[in-house]
Chains A and B, each alone.
Chain A
Amino acid sequence: MITPNIEALSLGELRYIARKQGVEDAEVMDREDLLESLQELYEELESGLSGEGISYSPSTQQRFMNSLVEHLDKQSMGMLPGVEQLPESYTETRIHLLLKNPYWAHAYWSVCPQDLLKLEQACDSFEFFLRVTMHGTSDQKQVEESYDIEIGKGDGCWNINLPERGRVYSVSLHYRDMKEGTGQLCQSDTVTTPKSWYLDHVEQLGGDERNFNLFFSALVTKGGVMVENPLLNEIVERLDQSMGG
């Protein structure tokens, strides 16, 4: 861990950094106390970083913005022309599904005030839920399946676990009233989770040296760490199992 030379920092800077690091009473501490607190904090962090169990990513890439400008006081950023306020949601009843990775998607939705009013007038009491649908395909003999997720009325987004690869998913927003009547308010477009040929053919890796080399030699560092990817991890796990651990 690289830290600034705190001895050279002004009192204001020390207080700012201390505040950001969660040091209590940073505003009233004098310079000596601030230096001592930060030094202790950095030593703790340093020992934590060098300890076991710390995950690191060999593929973590430095990008240009990884600089120390976070020390910039937010107040000075406030000098920019007025920051725009954006609405919490839009006046439409709609749900979107974004694929984060083969295992998770993010749904966000909004319900327009008129639809909400209609519901309130029609039902004594109601609640919302999401229905995640795994669509069926005739060619691959996959049947449609779905499951529900209870959500609060104030929720506007949810991360959704996707149980199977190579499947088409959509999510719909529903209401349920006290008499167990349900109705659909909106449905998202579909997303398809990627699947890999090798996921179902790990024996082609385990039993064929050429395939194994071609597959892994461009994915593994000189230290033996594989590029970060959950689908690759699953392939490796299956390969491991197929080869008897």
Chain B
Amino acid sequence: MARNSIGLVLNAHMPYIRHPEYSRFLEEDWLFEAIGETYLPLLRMLKKLRDDGVKFKITISLSPTLCTMLSDPILQGRFTDYLRLHQELGEKEVARCASEDTDCLELAKMYLDAITKNLEEYFETYQCNILSGFRDLEDSGHVELITTTATHAYLPLFSEYPSAIGAQIELAVQSHINHFKKRPKGFWLPECGYFPGLEEYLQREEIEFFQLSAQALVLAEEPPVRGNYAPVSCPNGVFGFARDFHLTNLVWSNVEGYPTDSSYREFYRDIGYDLPMEYIRPYIHEPEVRVFTGFKYHAITGKGNDKRHYVPAEAKVKVSEHADNFLYTAKRKGEDLSVQLDRQPFHTLAFDAELFGHWWFEGIDWLETVLRRASESGDVVFETQLDYLQRYPEAQVLQPSLSSWGEGGYSDVWTDGANVWIYRHLHKAIERMEELAIRFPDQNSLKKRFLNQAAREVLLAMASDWPFIIHNGTSAAYAEKRLRNHLGNFNVVYENMCKNAVNTEWLVKAEKQNIVFPDIDYNMFNLNSVRNRYNG
């Protein structure tokens, strides 16, 4: 019987957003929603599968900026406040629905229960740091944890700047070791952004594999003999796994994916937007800025605004059907491929983790059902890229093609008319950072801190999140401000160092504001430095 291997990779990432200067900050909610709706329920589900003896293994990429924020005491405290505020709203909703919106009462109770469970687990199981949950799953052999670039930079647009690419990758590995006491073996390329030669940087950090977009192999300069159904070995021996767009698209498509089923919960309909201001005011942002609260009572229904109420029992039936459909499709595909391949096919499924639970409310239930039924049947096996490589260490040597998973398959999303202006400044900042690292190598004390802060600011400015948000048009003002402020901060250091001066007051403030990467060493921007010669 043909056995299909599925390598599921979940990319958990949030841009570095931390504003202790405000009592509440709207964009920090992105992190809190992700913890409450995706990360905690995902951990809960995976542990339940483990406890039930279900055989599975998946790969999760946790970005360095996310790990930093999940470990940050200030953000941990703010997440607790966020949960308590929503618990209060839940209690208020249960009372309101009981008297005036009885159709929604069970849903209000469901949300309140979920929040209460999150609060309990966040404190009692994880002592406010959920990274321990991921570590635990890795220790038991159910999850392979990997990393991604330090600030989720999209690398093809920096291919002219080896120091910046090297810094993004080296710092990411360092950050992973700090958080998980282990060197990662796999690497998530942000936005599946690859350019030929990128594997050289990965090899320097002892990375063994990375994921690619669906077209990266079939558009290479040589034909891939096994299509996307087996990894290729780059000329330097690092393995690349291309996504299976067909299987991925069963889930991740806003047109025909499972999450678009009319029975599933509607994401955009939320009491934060639907209830009167005087009622919802304490639970949104000042001054009267409506936001999602997570209390959503409607099913997708159809394209229009006229929505029917969400019925979890109906959604549960769909989850079961969609899990079966997915496994059936994967099995059938494997049977078709078995006559064409000299080995069992490997399907790479790569998703943003936040699709499950946050965007697709039932996504975690779907994943649980898929993993459970796959384990029972044995037709489809969820295993990691490393497991597959152990079984099939031989791979075709092939140089993948320039590619990304963005619209159009290349760099268009990050270089559109609205955001392409940023590269003039980003590239200049990198060049100036290289200049500083060469002019002032191996500094001590204040100058070292000053230069380290400059390196932090350059790396934070390189995050792919900012051009993506600008491209997307939502929260664009915030993204542009962040970019300008990081670049502006860098320029403060550059101008001061050109005068051989350190602005101490500014430095203390900047360090407090952006405390990411405590171990950063600005010398990584000096390609001639002793440390880089040793590494290279």
| Chain A residues within CB distance 8 Å of chain B | 1-5, 8-10, 12-13, 42, 46, 49-50, 56-74, 76-77, 79-81, 83-86, 89-90, 96, 98-102, 106, 108, 110, 156-157, 166, 189, 194-198, 201, 204, 210-211, 213-215, 217-223, 225, 227-232
Digitize B427-449: 1 where CB-to-A-CB distance is under 8 Å, 0 elsewhere. 11000000000000000000000
Give min CB distance, B2 to chain A, whole Å: 14
Residues of chain B within 8 A (CB-CB) of A106 are: 415, 420, 423
Is A84 a contact partner of B491 (Cβ separation < 8 A)? yes
Binding site for A on B (CB under 8 A): 14, 19, 21-22, 26-27, 30, 34, 156-157, 160, 214-215, 218-224, 226-229, 242-246, 249-250, 252-256, 266, 268-269, 273-277, 285-292, 303-305, 329, 333, 336-337, 340, 347, 352, 354-355, 358-359, 401-402, 405, 407-412, 415, 420-421, 423-425, 427-428, 465, 468-469, 472-478, 481, 484-485, 487-489, 491
Contact A228 B219 (CB under 8 A): no
Q: Which residues of A contact B409 (CB under 8 A)?
A: 101, 227-232
A213 vs B489: C-alpha distance in the bound complex, in angstroms?
52
Please give me the residue from chain A that is nearest to B221 by CB atom.
A197
| Minimum CB–CB distance for A69 against chain B, Å | 5
Given contacts A58-B253, A219-B214, A219-B215, contact A77 B477 (CB under 8 A): yes
Counting from the closest, the 3 A-B pairs by CB-CB distance are: A84-B488, A214-B227, A101-B410
Complex: A217 Cα to B249 Cα, angstroms:
12
Q: Are A218 and B253 in contact (CB under 8 A)?
A: no
Query: Is there contact, CB below 8 Å, between A67 and B487?
Result: no
CB contact under 8 A between A99 and B253, given known A13-B290, A219-B218, A219-B246: no
Partner of A221, one of B246, B276, B286, B477: B246
Q: Judge whether B256 and A214 touch: CB under 8 Å.
A: no
Q: How far is the CA of A196 from the CA of B400 in the complex (A)?
A: 10
Q: Check B488 against A59 for contact (C-beta < 8 Å).
A: no
Closest partner residue, chain B, to A12 (CB atom) = B288
Q: How many whole Å from A99's CB to the nearest CB in chain B?
A: 7
Pairwise interchain contact B290-A50, C-beta atoms closer than 8 A:
no
Q: Which residues of B contact A5 (CB under 8 A)?
A: 269, 273-274, 305
Q: In this complex, what residue of B is CB-closest to A96?
A: B427
> Which of A66, A79, A86, A218 meets B242, CB within 8 Å?
A218
The answer to whether B412 and A101 have CB atoms under 8 Å apart is yes
Q: Tell me how far the C-beta of A135 lies from the nearest C-beta in chain B, rounded to whole angstroms.
A: 17
30 A-B pairs (CB sep. < 8 Å) = A4-B274, A8-B273, A13-B290, A63-B472, A64-B30, A64-B354, A65-B30, A65-B469, A68-B474, A70-B475, A72-B477, A84-B487, A90-B424, A98-B415, A101-B408, A101-B409, A108-B423, A157-B421, A157-B424, A198-B218, A214-B228, A215-B227, A217-B227, A217-B333, A218-B229, A222-B246, A222-B249, A228-B407, A229-B219, A232-B218
Query: Given known contacts A2-B305, A59-B245, A96-B423, is B223 in contact with A64 (CB within 8 Å)?
Result: no
Q: Report yes or no: B291 in contact with A90, Cβ–Cβ below 8 A.
A: no
Query: A residues within 8 A CB of B277?
Result: 8-10
- Which residues from chain A contact B354 at a C-beta distance below 8 Å? 64
* A128-B341 Cα distance, complex, nearest whole Å: 56
Contact residue among B156, B285, B428 (Cβ-Cβ distance under 8 Å from A90): B428
Complex Cα distance A86/B256, Å?
43
Residues of B within 8 A of A56 (CB): 254-255
Question: Are A218 and B228 also in contact (CB < 8 A) when A64-B358, A86-B484, A108-B423 are?
Answer: yes
B420 near A62 (CB under 8 angstroms)? no
Nearest CB in chain A to that of B465: its residue: A65
In the complex, chain B residues whose CB is within 8 Å of the CB of A89: 424
Give which listed residue, B289, B468, B485, contacts A83 with CB less than 8 A: B485
Q: How far is the CA of A83 from the CA of B476 in the complex (A)?
A: 14
Shortest beta-carbon distance from A234 to chain B in Å: 10
Contacts A70-B474, A197-B222, A197-B223 hold; do A86 and B333 have CB atoms under 8 A apart?
A: no
User: Are the CB atoms of B256 and A220 closer together than 8 Å?
Assistant: no
A residues in contact with B288, CB < 8 Å? 10, 12-13
Contact B340 A69 (CB under 8 A): no
B475 touches A62 (CB 8 A): no
Closest to A69 in B: B475
What's the Cα separation between A220 and B329 when bound, in Å? 14
A contact residues around B256 at 8 Å (CB): 58, 221-223
Cβ B481 vs Cβ A214 within 8 A: no
Instruction: From the candidates B14, B273, B285, B468, name the one contacting A4 in the complex (CB within 8 A).
Output: B273
A50 to B302, CA, bound (A): 12
Contact yes or no, B255 A58, CB < 8 A:
yes
When distances are taken between beta carbons in the complex, the residues of chain A under 8 Å from B408 are 101, 228-230
Contact in complex: B292, A68 (CB < 8 Å): yes
- Complex interface: chain B residues within 8 A of A9 (CB): 273, 277, 290
Within the complex, the shortest CB–CB distance from B149 to chain A, in Å, comes to 16
CA distance A42 to B304 in the complex (A): 10
Decide: A76 and B289 in contact? CB cutoff 8 A.
yes
Please indicate which of the listed interface residues A13, A56, A84, A110 has the most CB atoms of chain B within 10 Å of its own CB: A84
Known: A215-B218, A222-B329. 7 other contacts (CB 8 A): A8-B276, A61-B405, A65-B465, A65-B468, A96-B160, A219-B228, A221-B253
Contact A60/B227 with A70-B474, A99-B402, A223-B256 known, Cβ cut-off 8 Å:
no
* Minimum distance in angstroms from B38 CB to a CB of chain A: 10
Are the C-beta atoms of A101 and B352 separated by less than 8 Å?
no
Q: Give, as a whole number of angstroms, the nearest-CB distance from B337 to chain A.
A: 8
Chain B residues near A215: list those with CB within 8 A: 218, 227
Instruction: List the A side residues contacting B227 at CB < 8 Å.
Output: 213-215, 217-218
